[in-house]
Amino acid sequence: MRLYRTASVALLTLLTGPFGAHAADEAKPGAIPIGSAAEWPTVPQTGGDAEQAKNILARIKLPAGFHIALYAMVPGARHIAVGPQGNVVFVGTRQSKVWAVSDRGDGREVREFAPSVPKKIPNGVCFAKDGTLYVAEVNRVLGFAGAESFGARADLVATPAVKQGELIPRAEESLNHATRVCRIGPDDKLYIQLGQPYNVAPKEKVDVYRKWGIGGIVRVDRDGGNREVYATGMRNPVGMDFNPKDGSLWSNDNQVDRMGEDKPPGEMNRIAGIGHDYGFPWYGGGHTRTNEYKNETPPQNLIFPEVEQVAHAADLGLAFYNGTTFPQKYRGAIFSTQHGSWDRSVPVGARVMVTFLKEDGRAAGPSEPFAEGWNDNGRYLGRPVDVAQLPDGSLLVSDDRVGALYRIWHEGP
């Protein structure tokens, strides 16, 4: 009897502990084994590309006391997710790869993550507190439980959180505005930004897009259930984060092209709860009406942007700073990126911005340049995409033109 009881307890521990959790994932429908990391391709961290990246960083201007250095060479580096254990940084791309960046003490190792799992624009990466990595593609979201332990385990699997073809209708798939970004909210639900594929959506698409949350943000349970449209009226939202102080969700939105050099403005929106409408396609950015809908009556109770950004700068990354190693004025501020314009004769952007907040959680004023120098009189030396905080309080910045991650830290008073 004692042996039976001991065996039962051991079996229960196996099934409910971390190893048992992986076994449960393996049993889920559609689970895909990711194989041994020993066979995954790596990226050289030395050589001409790395030296060129370091030379570019010598041009970057930062506030006094801040420094920037090359963290890792990561081809096509886009959105960033720092593992909850702080062991691995995962980086999405606009191609077919996700990269895993591990700090080995004497340097960093960059491996293609789960190359046996086919991926289509796996731009969005985000972590749940339990260590599950989510990868948001054009029309699917995959979950990787225990992703940070890939180096020690060969039995990890990818499981669909949102199955292929169920994030948006298959007929609406496009390569335009298809870079999804995800976040896990304070409610432990999965939030996903969905850009709509047009410059300005045609009228016959408006109803279906608003039904699906295309041109907005959707919220689902972590297993994909209980889908809700969290926010609508956006054109191409890329980059979002939750304010840890009040739980509000802040989101960039890239606005209408071909309306002029200096209009409409880009947007940073504060989303205080579910169900709000942020004005597109009736408005092309800020209070600027679109030509296509200028004679249409907009819906009531629209919400205009918390911060208007310079037109066409392509605001992509957004993260609240909750560390303690930056000076006090930056604690609780928003760091964001401007990828750089294409729809201007004189390019703007290619820089990291900071937005300060008031005590009431609202923006204190316009976003301000924080790190700049990648725009060399209209020639892009680099194009920042995303920002993320490391456990030591420093800041990572991704650059998909150079194919790199940079680290920004502060020393001094």
Q: What is the mean pLDDT of each run of 10 residues along the chain (413 residues)?
A: 34 36 59 94 97 98 98 98 96 98 90 98 98 98 97 93 98 97 98 98 97 98 98 98 98 96 97 98 98 97 98 98 97 98 92 98 98 96 98 98 98 81
Q: What's the per-residue H, E or C state across 102-136?
A: EECCCCEEEEECCCCCCCCCCCEEEECCCCCEEEE
Domain ranges of the chain: 33-410
Q: How far is CA 350 from CA 8, 373, 376, 381, in A?
A: 59, 8, 10, 9
**Residue 391: cis peptide before it, omega within 30 degrees of 0:** no
CA dist., res. 127 & res. 143, Å (int): 9
pLDDT of residue 27: 56
Structure tokens at 46: 């030395």
Helix (H) or strand (E) holding 319: strand 315-320
Query: pLDDT tens across 102-148, in order?
Result: 998 778 999 999 999 999 999 999 999 999 999 999 999 999 999 99
Q: 33-410 architecture in CATH? A: 6 Propeller (2.120)
Task: Give the pTM.
Answer: 0.93
Q: What is the pLDDT of residue 412?
A: 79
